[in-house]
């Protein structure tokens, strides 16, 4: 075996080992990501793994901010090597690798920082960096930030460095997306619990201030009647009349409250009848444009009903509208509800507990709720729920 063959075999062994190490590093990061850690843990780990795998002097992970700057969130350096400092408010202009990524959304490189002008290249040079490759981190289609691998020597980062960093950037994106999803889920859970508690408080208050007070009054009136029955029959009779009046009011209030908890007509007679009843009670004229001919699963009927009920409540309360339409259609395996009014507009999902709570209800069924409400242009609330 010649010396040349030996060298070639050694080289391919080295390449193979490097590839295996890279795969192992990716696997370690993937395992970490799967354990749903705080993203900052992933950032630090990725910087270290990328640095070790590529054999570079330093690495950074940075987030692009809306104000056109970057926030350097994590950094790693080989022992003693210089590194770009971590922190916010770092400029992104000029032809530094990371600045180019922020504009192109693709991997970029700078093989020699010596001739680049501008504040960022200057700060990079000051950190002892002579060349760098940067790869974008894209979360849910949006350019989020970048991973940068840097060397203290110019022209020292081989071709292919881009792709190798990009594999790690994808894992970071996964970690960020899943952290974001967890955050949204936790927020929606908290809102659902809060909405439940608020509803219980409202019910207790309504019962206490309404029917309960009326029944207390009836009990007191009856005890007076009892006392007067023999000696003062005329006033006793008048008291009985007022007791009957109080009872009628208590009944009305209980009926109204029960309907607010869950409209019996919805479970007994379905969405069509419930919506017709809802529309009949609405304070502005409401036209029903379409209704499903068949019963839908209970949870979907309830969600559609509450979308319509909340929308019509808002129409009455805020919209200053002269009329509205409600339509429920079934198509493409979805139930769609649309409530439109000709009022003032300006409604948003975020600006009312009612609408946010409704969106949570619809999203819990795998659907979505959209509000279109230009100022002065009326409001359209559209819900779409898969029939599953």
Binding site for another protein (CB under 8 A): 208-209, 212-217, 219-221, 223-224, 227-228, 246
Considering beta carbons, is residue 119 or 209 the nearer one to another protein?
Answer: 209
How would you list the strands of the sheet with 70-77, edge to edge? 87-90, 70-77, 58-64, 142-151, 131-139, 108-110
CB of 49 to another protein, least distance (A): 60
Q: Are 64 and 70 in contact (CB under 8 A)?
A: yes
CB of 241 to another protein, least distance (A): 14
Q: Are 235 and 228 in contact (CB under 8 A)?
A: yes
From the list 125, 136, 130, 129, the residue with the least C-alpha distance to 98 is 136
Considering beta carbons, is residue 162 or 224 the nearer one to another protein?
Answer: 224
Considering beta carbons, is residue 253 or 384 the nearer one to another protein?
Answer: 253
Considering beta carbons, is residue 117 or 231 the nearer one to another protein?
Answer: 231
CB of 195 to another protein, least distance (A): 24
How would you list the strands of the sheet with 286-290, edge to edge? 286-290, 324-331, 334-341, 379-386, 368-372
Give start and end residues of each alpha helix (H) in 127-212.
161-207
Phi then psi for residue 89, to 5 deg, are 75, 25
Considering beta carbons, is residue 7 or 223 the nearer one to another protein?
Answer: 223
The per-residue DSSP string of 322-354 comes to: S-EEEEEEEETTEEEEEEEE-S-----STT-HH
- Find where tokens 């930030």 sit: 145
CB of 219 to another protein, least distance (A): 4
CB of 71 to another protein, least distance (A): 48
CB of 261 to another protein, least distance (A): 20
C-alpha torsion sign, points 181, 182, 183, 187: positive
- On the 0-12 / 13-18 / 19+ scale of CB atoms within 10 A, 166 is middle
Considering beta carbons, is residue 193 or 216 the nearer one to another protein?
Answer: 216
CB of 384 to another protein, least distance (A): 43
Question: Could you tell me the CA-to-CA distances from 371 to 19, 317, 329 in Å, in that order?
Answer: 51, 17, 18
CB of 248 to another protein, least distance (A): 14
Contacts of 191 (CB under 8 A, 6+ apart): 356, 357, 360
Considering beta carbons, is residue 178 or 213 the nearer one to another protein?
Answer: 213
Secondary structure E strands in the chain = 58-64, 70-77, 87-90, 108-110, 131-139, 142-151, 286-290, 324-331, 334-341, 368-372, 379-386
Considering beta carbons, is residue 68 or 235 the nearer one to another protein?
Answer: 235
CB of 203 to another protein, least distance (A): 15
The per-residue DSSP string of 49-71 comes to: HHHHHHT-SEEEEEEE-TTS-EE
Considering beta carbons, is residue 245 or 346 the nearer one to another protein?
Answer: 245
Considering beta carbons, is residue 73 or 250 the nearer one to another protein?
Answer: 250
Q: Are 102 and 92 in contact (CB under 8 A)?
A: yes
CB of 244 to another protein, least distance (A): 14
């Amino acid at each position: 075996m010649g010396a040349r063959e030996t060298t070639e075999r050694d080289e391919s062994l080295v390449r193979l080992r490097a590839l295996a190490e890279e795969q192992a590093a990716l696997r370690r990061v993937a395992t970490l990501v799967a354990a749903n850690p705080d993203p900052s843990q992933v950032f630090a780990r990725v910087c270290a793994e990328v640095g070790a795998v590529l054999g570079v002097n330093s690495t950074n992970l940075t987030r692009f901010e809306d104000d056109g700057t970057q926030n350097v969130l994590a950094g790693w350096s080989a022992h003693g090597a210089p590194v770009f400092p971590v922190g916010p408010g770092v400029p992104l202009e000029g032809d530094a690798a990371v600045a180019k990524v922020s504009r192109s959304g693709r991997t970029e490189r700078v093989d020699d920082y010596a001739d680049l002008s501008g504040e960022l290249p200057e700060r990079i040079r000051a950190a002892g960096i002579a060349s760098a490759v940067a790869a974008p981190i894209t979360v849910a289609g949006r350019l989020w930030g970048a991973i940068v691998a840097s060397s203290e020597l110019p022209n020292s980062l081989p071709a292919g460095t881009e792709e190798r960093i990009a594999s790690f950037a994808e894992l970071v994106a996964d970690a960020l997306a899943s952290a974001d999803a967890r955050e949204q889920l936790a927020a929606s859970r908290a809102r659902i619990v809060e909405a439940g508690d608020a509803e219980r408080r409202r019910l207790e208050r309504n019962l206490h201030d309404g029917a309960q007070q009326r029944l207390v009054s009836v009990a007191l009136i009856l005890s007076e009647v009892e006392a007067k029955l023999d000696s003062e029959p005329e006033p006793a009779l008048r008291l009985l009349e007022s007791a009957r009046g109080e009872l009628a009011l208590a009944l009305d209030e209980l009926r109204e409250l029960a309907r607010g908890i869950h409209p019996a007509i919805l479970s007994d007679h379905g969405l069509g009848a419930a919506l017709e009843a809802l529309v009949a009670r609405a304070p502005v004229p409401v036209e029903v444009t379409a209704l499903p001919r068949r019963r839908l699963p209970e949870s979907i009927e309830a969600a559609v009903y509450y979308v319509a009920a909340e929308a019509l409540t808002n129409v009455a309360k805020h919209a200053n509208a002269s009329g509205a339409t409600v339509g429920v259609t079934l198509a493409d395996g979805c139930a769609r509800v649309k409530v439109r009014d000709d009022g003032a507009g300006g409604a948003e999902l975020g600006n009312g507990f009612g609408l946010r709570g409704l969106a949570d209800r619809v999203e819990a069924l795998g659907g979505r709720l959209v509000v279109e409400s230009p100022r002065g242009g009326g409001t359209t609330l559209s819900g779409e729920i898969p029939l599953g």
